[in-house]
A and B are shown apart, each in its own frame.
Chain A
Amino acid sequence: MTAQQGVPSPLPVDEAPPRPKREIVIEAFIRVAGVSTIIIIILIFAFLLKEGLPAFFKVSITGLLARRWYPIEDMFGLLPLLVGSLLVTVGAVVIAVPLGLTTAVFLGELAPPWLREILKPVIEVLAGIPSIVLGFLGWVVLAPAIQNMGAPTGLTAFTGSLILAYMALPTIISITEDALYAVPKEYRDGSLALGATHWQTIYKVVLPAARSGIVIAIMLGIGRAIGETMAVMLVTGNAANIPSLSDGLYFQPVRTLTATIAAEMGEVASGSLHYNVLFAIGIVLFVITFLINSLATWIIGGNGGRRRGGQI
């Protein structure tokens, strides 16, 4: 390669200057860290499948979908547990989402700045309360109150829903408020300048613009609710039965998928059928969470518009 005088010759592509050793080491370290995380996840999943999949063959799908969970007599019907989880989670979502969204709107749009400065940190501290402490509260305060209102027992699906809703609230409020905060002021000005009221502006411009952030907030809240174990175990009564509509659907004891694993794992013989079924429950939980996450991605991605504003 001949360079003209005065003009620096370009670096040949195949002869890049040797990179400092330090960088090579750092890069290798980062790569190992990243890959090992993925490998660990794959290993966990493989283990889950290895221990859980046999249950689907030994018990059969119809056996797993039966209405009775009675492991001592080899009856592994997951339906009561699924219904229990569903009831408690749906109940929690129904309570937490409207309450969380309205609180976030109040914090982000209506509250005076000084009040927001107090409330926001308080709500974030709430997120840090250990779930078992909330379980205590549910057991000692909520359950007796619910029993006094006329339910046969205070340990019911409704009690679990209330506790879970309370646990999901800080997540939903905090992330929704962040999403509202990220909505550009220009949107609000544009709406107000057209004669829309403050409330119309929030409802028709700010909330839709923050939609993807709000969906993430709700999904994280639900994720926390469906995976929660200890607090729920304390307050739902742990009876693996399917509540009947006639007896007040929500005011009967139930048992969730997670609580079943936690309660029984310590007592099963490793490698037994019961043991395999508990892992199968783990697979079911995994699939449910995966479906919820996919749904969230679909909702966020499905609006056709470019993503802008209200993003986290």
Chain B
Amino acid sequence: MDKKIEVNKFDFYYGDFQALIDLNFPIIKNQITALIGPSGCGKSTFLRAINRMNDTISIARADGEILLDGKNVYDQDVDVSELRQRVGMVFQRPNPFPQSVFDNVAYGPRVLGTATKHELPDVVEKSLRGAALWDEVKDKLKSSALDLNPGQQQRMCIARAIAVQPEVILMDEPCSALDPIATLHVEDLMRELSKDYTIVIVTHSMQQAARASDWTGFFWLGKLVEFGGTHELFTNPKQELTEAYITGRQG
């Protein structure tokens, strides 16, 4: 069990407010790690800290380390663009660009120059197959991505993320805008994707974490209260707060 990411003494601030406090835990390669906790506990902030999407917020500041394959992503010499290629992201609400399905999926390879014009159709097909969407959209690659239903849009966003061949995929409540059936599709897909990718998912739904993840971290007020194997954490939590939260008494 290789560690893909190691979090060491990681703190995060928005101005004077400390959003994350002394986080220490590993994220295991080719497995699914779920982060749970109430709204505002910092789990999304942590997710966006891994690929440095928080850089766009001018008052944000990070301390400590997030090691990706042993290299701190906050080191001076890290190329943020390359980091985000290696660490892809899927957002809470499906966010297709107002372009065709093909152009959406081809977007990453085009701007990063990872595929030539001739390779693009193959890359797009492979990515859409990888996101279990190919059969549904193969005849409408040229039509607008906004015409897909929300579940398809979200899987297209996953296809868009894997088109640049990332190593890690971050998912920020990817199912919160989806109906139960589309949610199941995405969860099945995550299981499939974890063979090739390391997945970190933030979720509000404890059932989803229990169903779909291998490891679970429980966040509370910016701290990681407990981290462990998902089965272990849900059946035999070590902390009282964890037990209170997962049984619904707290949170």
Contacts and interface: CB of A to CB of B under 8 A. Distances in A.
Interface of A: 184, 186-187, 189-197, 200, 204-205, 208-209, 304-306, 308-309
Interface stretch (B31-39, B93-101, B204-212, B226-234): B93-101
Contacts of A304: 143-144
Given A306-B146, A308-B146, A196 B98 contact: no
Contact of A209 (B53, B98, B147, B157): B98
26 contacts: A184-B95, A186-B95, A190-B97, A190-B157, A190-B160, A191-B97, A191-B111, A192-B56, A193-B91, A194-B88, A194-B112, A194-B160, A195-B85, A195-B111, A195-B112, A196-B108, A196-B112, A197-B111, A208-B98, A209-B97, A304-B143, A306-B144, A306-B146, A306-B147, A308-B98, A308-B146
A193 B166 CA distance: 11
Interface string B91-124: 1010111111000000110111000000000000
A209 B144 CA distance: 12
B85 A194 contact: yes
A140 B108 CA distance: 53
A305 B99 contact: yes
The prevalent SS among residues of B at the interface is: helix
Contact of A193 (B82, B89, B146): B89
A205 B97 contact: yes
B20 interface: no
Contact of B91 (A189, A209, A306): A189
Given A186-B91, A194-B84, A194-B85, A309 B111 contact: no
B146 to A, nearest CB: 5
B161 interface: yes
A189 B146 contact: no
Lowest 3 CB-CB distances: which A-B pairs, in order? A195-B85, A186-B95, A193-B89
Interface in B126-163: 143-144, 146-147, 157, 160-161
A194 B87 CA distance: 8
